[in-house]
Amino acid sequence: MIWLLIALPPLAVALAYRRAPLFHWLVAGVAWLAVAAAAGGWNVLVALVVIGLFAGVMLFLMNDGMRRTNLTAPILKAFRKALPSMSQTERDALEAGSVWWEGDLFGGRPKWTRMLDYPWPKLTTEEQRFLDEDTTELCRLTRDWEATQKQDLPPEVWRYIKERGFLGMIIPKEYGGKGFSAYAHSQVVTKLSTRSSAPAVTVMVPNSLGPAELLLHYGTEAQKSHYLPRLARGEDIPAFALTSPWAGSDAASIPDAGVVCKGMYQGQEVLGMRVSFDKRYITLAPVCTVFGLAFRLFDPDHLLGDTEDIGITCALVPWNHPGVDIGRRHFPLNAVWMNGPIRGAEVFMPLDFIIGGPDMAGQGWRMLMECLAAGRSISLPGSNTGMQKMTARAVGAYARVRYQFKTAIGRFEGVEEALTRIGANTYMCDAARVFTAGAIDLGEKPSVVSAIVKYHVTERARQTVNDGMDVIGGKGICLGPQNFLGRAYQQIPVGITVEGANILTRSLILFGQGAVRCHPYVLDEMHSAQANDLVAFDKALWGHVGYTLSNAARALVMGLTGSHFVDVPADVAPETRRYYQQLTRFSAAFAYIADISMGTMGGALKRKEKLSARLGDILSLMYLASATLRRFEAEGRRAEDAPLMHWAIWDCMFRIQLAFEGVIANFPSRFFAFFIRRVVVFPLGRPYVVPSDELGHEVARLLIAPSATRDRLTSDVYLPKDDLEDPVGALEAALLATIEAEPIEARVKQALRDKRFSAGLHIGDGIDGIYADAAEAGVITPQELAVIRRKGALRDKVIRVDDFPYDFGLREALADLSDDDQQLRREAA
C-alpha cells in the first residue's frame, strides 16, 4: 500500500483547490492510477484493467442521461422516502432570512477579500450627536438603585425617552422617526446598558422584534400611516405577545388560536376573528398601549378560502380593546423594566387588525423569523456587550485601586486570569456585535448569524460578569447604590433565556439550521426531492459529492502542510496571516465533517444534539474569529491593541480544536472518526494550545491603567463627570489618584525599609498613618502627603459597601401590624 500513499498527495493537490467537474476528475484519476501503477510495479495488463474500469465509471458518470436514469433516480427515490415531512412553519423557519459570511465559513472556502471589503459601520453626524448628547443625558437621568426601589423609571425619564424619539429609532423619517441605522440602534442600546438595564430594555424592545418592525416590512399603508407616527412620538408604547405558558422555546407550537367569523365592531357587523390567548413574559406589556399578537388562525366555515388551518397570524391590538386583560407584571430577577402577561378569551377583532391586512393571514411565522433575524442581531448583543464594557472599565479600575497583601489585587496572577478573560471577551464580543450590525445595514437578515451572536455574546457576558464579581469580591455581593455590578449579575440569566434559550440555540439552531441554510447544496436537494425534480436533484447531488471530496482533499493537504501555502489577501496585517490560513483549514475540515455527519447519520443527526452543538461551536467560533480579525483591520492594526486580538483568536482556535475532538470522540462510526482525526483534521496533531500566560498578562495590564487602548475597549461606557457619589465616577477618580500616589508610596516603603523614619506615630490616621509619619520625618512633602490622603479618601469611597436599617423594605408591612406583632417580626428579622 506504500504506492497508494505515494500517489495520493498528487491527486489531492490536483483537486484540492477547485470544485472540479467530472472531466477533470477523470483526467486526474487516470493520471493518478498511471503514477500508482508505475510506482507499485503493477503488471501492465492489471494496470490497464484498473485504469479502464476507472475510466468506464467516470465516463458513465459524465453521461447525463445514463447517470440520471440508472444512478440518480434510485438515489432520489430513497432520498424522498427518508426525507421527513416538513410543515409550512418548519419550512418558513428554515428559509427565513439570508445567508451572509457564515455561508463562506460553512462552505469550506472563505473568501477573505470579500470579508475585508465589507464596510466597517460608522455613525452619521446625526447619529453620533444623538449618542453623545441624548443618550448620555438619558444615562445621567437614570439612577438604577432608585429605580429598583420604586420598580419603575421616574416619570421624567419616561417623558425624556418619548420626547427625544428613543422609541422610534428604526422608524423612517417620513413617519416621524429617526431613521437610524442598525449600527446606531446597537450603539444606543450598548451605551444605555453600561448604565442600567431599565432604559436599555425599554428602548431596545420597541426598536427590535415588535409592531414597528413588522409594520415597516409587512403593514398596509393605512396601518403604517396610523401607527408609525404615534410610535415615533411615544404616543403609543408597543409590546409583542408571542410566548405562552405551553410554548416557550417551541414558539411555533403556540396554542393561542382564533377562528374566522362575523361579529360586531364599532356598531357594525364585520368579518373578523374570535381569538383566545394567554401570553406571558411580554416586555412592556404592563404599560403598552398597543401590542402585536401571534396566534394560529382557523377558518372552519371557509369564509376566507378553502384552507381551514390558515396558520400563524400576527395582529395589532389596542390595549383597551374589549376583552383584553392587561396591566399585571412579572419581576424578571427583580428587573425594573416592565414585563407581564397579556390574556384574552373569545376576543373579537376585525380582519383589519392583521398586520398587512387579510392577505397576510397565515404568514405570521415567516414574518417573525425574518424580523427576529434582524432584531436578535442587535438587541441582546448590544445590551450584553454594554455589560461587558462596563465590567472591563470598572473592574479593571477596582483591581488597581484595591490593595491586599500590600499589593494591588490586579497584579496577582489569579486575578490577572479573570481580567484577561474580561478584556479579550469584551474585545471579541464588541467586534461580533459591530460586524453583525453592519450586515443588517447591508440589507442582510442573517438568521444563523443572529443566533450565533445572541448565544455567544450572552454566554461570554455571563463569563465576564462572573469574573468581575470574583475580582471585586464582597463589594459585589452587597446590593445598594455603591454596587456597580450586582444588578448586572442578577439579570445576566435573562439574556441567556430570551429570544431563544441558549441551550436550545446551541443544540438545535446553530448547526441544525446552519446545515440547511448555509450549505451550498442541501436546501436545493431538499427542494428538488420534494418537487420530484430529477434534473435539479441530479445537479445538486453530484455538485454535493464533488464539494465533499474537494473539501476532504483540501483539508488533508492543508493539514499535511500546516496550511502554510494557503492564499490569503496580501494586505492583511502580517501578524494575523497565520490566523487566516488556519481558519481556512478549519473551514474546509468543518465542511467535510459536516457532510460526513449528515451523510452517515441522516435525520438521526437532529437527535444527536451534543454532536450538533459541537459542530455549531466550530461554525460559531470561526465567525467570532473572523469578526475579531475584521475589527483589528478596521481599527488600523494598532500594535497596542494586538494583545486583545491575539488572546481572543488563540482562545477561539483552541476551542475549535476541542469542539472537533468532541465530535470525533463521539462519532458513531469509528472508521470515520479515525479517518477524520488522523487524515483530514489533525494529521500532524493539533496546532493550538491555550493562550499563553505572558499574553494574558499583557491583556490584564491594559485594564488596570489609563490608555487609548482601554478607552477604545470601553468606548461609550457612561462615565459620570465629577460625581464622586456615583460608584463608577468614584472609580475613575480613584484610579488616577492611585497611579499618582504609587511612586510616593514606593518611596515611603523604601525609606521605611532603610529605617529613615519610625512608623506608628499616627495610628489615628488608619492604614495611611505611615505616610503622615513619613511627612513628619521629611521623607515626603506636605503636597505629596495631600496626594496620598486624596487617594486614600477615594479608595475608601470605592471599597465601601452600603448598609441599611435592619427593617429596610419592611416598614410598610410593619406599619399595618400591632406593637406585639412588630416586635415578633423584628425578632424574626
If DSSP codes are grouped into helix, strand and coil, which group holds residue 686? coil
Q: List pLDDT tens digits, range 502-513.
A: 999 999 888 988
What positions carry a catalytic annotation? 499
Lowest mean pLDDT of 196-210, 487-501, 601-615, 798-812, name the range.
798-812
pLDDT, residue 826, reads 44
Q: Which span out of 119-128, 553-562, 809-818 was modeled with the highest average pLDDT?
A: 119-128
- Region 264-284: what's the mean pLDDT? 95
If phi > 0 it is left, if psi is from -120 to 50 it is alpha, else beta; for residue 646 that is alpha
Q: What integer pLDDT is reported at residue 42 of this predicted model?
A: 62
Backbone φ, ψ for residue 778 (5° rounding): 80, 10
Tell me which of 578-582, 704-708, 754-758 is least confident. Answer: 754-758
Q: Can you tell me the mean pLDDT for 149-154?
A: 92
pLDDT of 380 higher than 70: yes
Question: CA–CA separation, 194 vs 164, rounded Å?
Answer: 20
pLDDT at residue 827 is higher than 60: no
In terms of residues, how long is the chain?
Answer: 829
> In this prediction, what percent of the chain has a pLDDT beyond 70?
88
Answer yes or no: are the C-beta atoms of 302 and 308 closer than 8 Å: yes
Tens-place pLDDT, residues 74-96: 888 888 877 766 666 666 666 67
pLDDT digits (tens, 9 = 90+) for 306-339: 999 999 999 999 999 999 999 899 999 999 999 9
**What is the distance between the alpha carbons of residues 690 and 653, in angstroms, rounded to a whole number?**
9
Q: When comparing pLDDT for 708 and 65, which is higher?
A: 708
pLDDT at res. 89: 61
The mean-pLDDT minimum among 157-166, 346-355, 595-604 falls in 595-604
Nearest to 621 by CA among 572, 573, 587, 665: 587
Question: Does the pLDDT value for residue 823 go beyond 60?
Answer: no
Give the C-alpha separation, 411 to 126, whole Å. Answer: 42
* Average confidence (pLDDT) over 479-506: 93
Query: Residue ranges of the alpha helices (H) in 635-677?
Result: 642-665, 670-675
Instruction: Judge residue 150's burial from the number of C-beta atoms within 10 Å of its C-beta, 0-12 exposed, 13-18 middle, 19 or more buried.
Output: exposed
Which one-letter amino acid corresponds to residue 728? V
Distance CA 667, CA 663 (A): 6
Tell me the three state secondary structure of residue 354.
Answer: strand
Per-residue confidence (pLDDT) for residue 806, from 0 to 100: 75
- CB within 8 A of 203, min separation 6: which ones? 161, 166, 167, 169, 188, 189, 192
Residue 97 has pLDDT above 80, yes or no: no
> What's the pLDDT at 814?
47
Comparing 487 with 721, the larger pLDDT belongs to: 487
Which of 318, 253, 256, 321 lies closest to 289, judged by CA? 318
pLDDT tens digit sequence for 667-710: 988 887 887 777 778 888 888 889 999 999 999 999 999 999 99
So what's the pLDDT on residue 16? 41
At 251, the pLDDT band (50, 70, 90 cuts) reads confident
**Alpha-carbon separation of residue 775 from 279, 634, 785 (angstroms):** 69, 51, 7
- pLDDT, mean over the chain: 88
Dihedral (Cα; 630, 712, 336, 374), 10-degree rounding: -20
Handedness of CA 559, 564, 566, 569 (dihedral sign): positive
Going 107 to 113 to 114 to 116, the CA torsion angle's sign is positive
Report pLDDT digits (tens) over 219-237.
Answer: 999 999 999 999 999 999 9
User: Residue 597 and residue 662: Cα distance in Å, rounded?
Assistant: 13
First to last CA, the chain: 81
Closest by Cα among 416, 415, 397, 390 to 492: 390
